[in-house]
Amino acid sequence: WNLFYNALGSIPSNLGMTIILPDHRGTGLSTALTCDDNGSQTVDSACITYLLSKWGREGINQFSITSAAHDLSVQIQSYKIDKPGRITIFAVSYGTLWLDRFLQIYP
């Protein structure tokens, strides 16, 4: 994450743009979705049991791509309150799926 935040610092502020780097729920600097208290990412039956006991079925559903698309909408709407106008969204890798889901919900 330091790479991204350091790169943002090198963009001149007079370009008139704001760059927002959202984390998908469960990744990056947001609440971690791991398979145990030690940060394991090994998905097996023990992981499923752990996640269900920690979050419950309803809580696990909050880590979906649909929930992440709603998060992105909230971020955009919050930003537009102070800076109305055009928004450009750039996505790569998994972000393209995230953006696709966003555009399905918010065409």
pLDDT at position 79: 86
- The percent of residues in the chain predicted with pLDDT above 70, rounded, is 88
pTM of this prediction? Answer: 0.74
* Cα–Cα distance measured from residue 74 to residue 61, given in angstroms and rounded to the nearest whole number: 18
With 0-12 CB in 10 A as exposed, 13-18 as middle and 19+ as buried, what is 22? Answer: middle
Map out the domains of the chain as residue ranges. 1-25+64-107, 32-62
What is the per-residue pLDDT across 9-54, written as a single tens digit (0 to 9) for each? 677 777 777 777 777 888 877 888 899 999 999 999 999 999 999 9
Instruction: Tell me if residue 26 falls in helix, strand or coil.
Output: strand
Res 8 pLDDT > 70 = no
Other beta carbons within 10 Å of 26: 16
